[in-house]
Structure 1
């Protein structure tokens, strides 16, 4: 199956939100447009945004402890217990000392609507530490989103360059098929005329089959790149995706020294910064767990009225206020275990920071070496292409002069095509290596 790839050029106006050309409307993408589409529509990024909103809501919950808590209630009681009935009658302001049998009051109803306000005066600093942890949680979620964005842009870039490489290889393979087919047609005529050997015709048929096989593989590589990009861009499997721009990106520059790259990564890499935030959260949670040993003080005020029915009267209202201080003397070692758990979580978070730094250093070194290697391969492949093209030119002249066989010509042509494909692969490997290096230093964020 042969893949037909369309090319086009998308002006800057489309990127700025102005009138978009037909190519964009027909789902033809440049690399910049593919990245923008992925950032706008990739479901993983949307999930990370929702996690930021969740963390922000959790911060709001933590800050709620610094505000008074106000609630209303309505209670109903019925009792013929002398003590309870007597207290309800007193609360309702209808005690009559000259009438009634206090030992047998009968059933008494009491309705109490009330408004109660409570306020935490001191909780050992737990509210403060937990609010700080929640604030750090919001920042951590934002860093997680930045790290996800970093990976997404790198994946889109690598897949896009992979598709462009496959397109160029596909073009080389198509030209090879046309050249070999033309040679085969001529050799077949010459064979029928008894000029060339059957082995030459068979060699050309073999070369044609190999060229067609390479063409099929490159066409399949294009389809795989398009499928991967649809997933990264949040498109459906049946949505159209075409590569825009008939261009050959230039080679990237040589990378900076490892120490300079490492300093950049340590200063801005979102995964490392997120690990540091998680360690800071663990510190705040440990402080909150230790604060449980300190006293807690709460104050409250309650306003309501008691009556034998639901009728409200200011003659029967009352106000209660108070302060309560409490401290845990023994909690069955629950507080100590919470502290021990928080200590282990802090140690694990600190080790995660160290582990993340080591991983970033390794990724950075691998990406730097990968880019250097790809650039060296690109230089070698350029020289190889020039040599292969010159060799093919000379062999072609010798063949027309009848000095060499068609087999030697085929060898030279195959060498030229392979050199071109290696050149294409080396160039796009260098571009992908540059993208990996940017991800390793957190550049994409």
Structure 2
């Protein structure tokens, strides 16, 4: 039964080994190349970039409201009387041009010019006149009356300015729509940058995991080679009758165990490369070119925390959101309290007629005033104001919590990185000793100075030491990547 199991293991091992040997890596990447490829191809980054462009277009849309608005209007009418009654023809013309400009901080300036003209043609009309006839009788007789042509005209120039006085100061949030759009743009910009940072962190960790699996494969391949060489030596000795067959069988099992670990590591490598391919949005077979760095100097903890408080994009998002909520609170407050508007207007008018020029008139009107509006039942504005106040307080609490959380995360990661560095140094020295010990044990076994079991025990210690070392390397790189993401 045992030999049958061994035979099955050989078949599976050969199949997996053949499959692995057939894999060709068409894309070899260093970490900077992988990060660059991810930032170019990752669909999440593309979507966030498009969202940022939308937020910028919303600002442009709000700013467009402050572009001067020009309006032109004209009309022309022609009217003719019944020819049987009179020959009067009337032409009416009206022209108007106006321009208005929103002024930031609550103002509106407008200028309009009007001109109108009515032309009346000369005409004759039949009229009935009456006169005193014989015997004091009343006689009627037809007569024709002529009316001369004339034109009437009027002109007007009006300059108007109004200013909305805000209760939260003379200026207050009068430019609120544009400011709010800019805050939304800044929030989205920080979110976009943070999404890039998060993607870089995920690529780094997945990249290092893939590199770890590659190194792990190399370690298990070396162990497999050692076991194969050991099995070969044992078979030679067994044929000479120097050792029992049970030692050869034990060595054969060790070879299968080493192959199993190698294939398991190869499968893990495929999984990690698949995760990396998803992040890079590529179908190519990937092989990473990695050099683990464990000697990068750490900055002072206080410097890292101060830097994160100023540069961390999660915090800058929350700071921008706090400013936005403060603006919306001021807007809600102004909508809730009484409204006061000031206005000034200058209106210059002129009118005249070609018949009686003495009655031509030109005058200028000056107006100024205050409009005071007080809502008698401000239920909705009051509720909006209270909600805005709660959102502002909530934004302040969220910012404080985030600052405390990031400070604690940085402190914890800093301590963990220091500990990981120490573990790597200790494990590096230990692996050196374990490898030397393995070489000595193999020589001693060849000279029949030690038992085979001792060799395998030493080999197990070496495998365990290599695994710990690789794990500590991966742990260090992951922790360092997380710290960089918080302080990038």
- TM-score using structure 2 length: 0.68
Give the Cα–Cα distance (whole angstroms) in 2 for the partners of residues 35 and 277 of structure 1: 28
Structure having greater relative contact order (Cα 8 Å, sep ≥ 6): 1
1:100-122 alpha-carbon deviations (Å, 9 max, x no partner): 9xxxxxxxxxxx99887666444
Stretches of structure 2 lacking an aligned partner (at least 5 in a row): 1-15, 86-93, 102-107, 109-161, 167-171, 346-366
Is the CA contact 2:173–2:327 (under 8 Å) kept in the aligned structure 1? no
Is 1:45 aligned to 2:35, yes or no?
no
In the superposition, relative to structure 1, how do residues 5 and 56 fare at CA in structure 2: closer, same or farther (>3 Å)? farther
* TM superposition shift of 1:36: 0.8
* TM superposition shift of 1:262: 0.8
What residue is the counterpart of 1:277 in the other structure? 320
What residue is the counterpart of 1:30 in the other structure? 30
Give the Cα–Cα distance (whole angstroms) in 2 for the partners of residues 299 and 137 of structure 1: 35
Is 1:185 aligned to 2:228, yes or no?
no
Is the CA contact 1:297–1:326 (under 8 Å) kept in the aligned structure 2? no
Give the Cα–Cα distance (whole angstroms) in 2 for the partners of residues 55 and 326 of structure 1: 36
Give the Cα–Cα distance (whole angstroms) in 1 for the partners of residues 235 and 433 of structure 2: 30
1:40-439 residue pairs with structure 2 within 5 A?
Answer: 40-69=40-69, 120=108, 121-123=162-164, 124=166, 125-235=172-282, 238-243=283-288, 245=289, 248-292=291-335, 293=337, 294-295=339-340, 327=373, 329-330=375-376, 332-439=378-485
Secondary structure at 1:194 match in 2:
coil
What residue is the counterpart of 1:311 in the other structure? none
1:319-350 alpha-carbon deviations (Å, 9 max, x no partner): xxx99957352465111111111111111111
Secondary structure at 1:195 match in 2:
coil
Is the CA contact 1:251–1:430 (under 8 Å) kept in the aligned structure 2? yes
* TM superposition shift of 1:422: 2.2
- TM-score using structure 1 length: 0.74
* TM superposition shift of 1:66: 3.1
Give the Cα–Cα distance (whole angstroms) in 1 for the partners of residues 442 and 484 of structure 2: 45
Give the Cα–Cα distance (whole angstroms) in 1 for the partners of residues 95 and 456 of structure 2: 100
Whichever structure has more strand as a proportion of its residues is 2
Is the CA contact 1:34–1:233 (under 8 Å) kept in the aligned structure 2? yes
* TM superposition shift of 1:382: 0.8
Give the Cα–Cα distance (whole angstroms) in 1 for the partners of residues 65 and 240 of structure 2: 99
Give the Cα–Cα distance (whole angstroms) in 2 for the partners of residues 270 and 330 of structure 1: 45
Stretches of structure 1 lacking an aligned partner (at least 5 in a row): 8-22, 76-90, 101-111, 301-321
* Paired residues, number: 375
Give the Cα–Cα distance (whole angstroms) in 2 for the partners of residues 299 and 206 of structure 1: 100
Is the CA contact 1:187–1:196 (under 8 Å) kept in the aligned structure 2? yes
Give the Cα–Cα distance (whole angstroms) in 2 for the partners of residues 113 and 193 of structure 1: 121
Alignment RMSD, CA only? 3.5
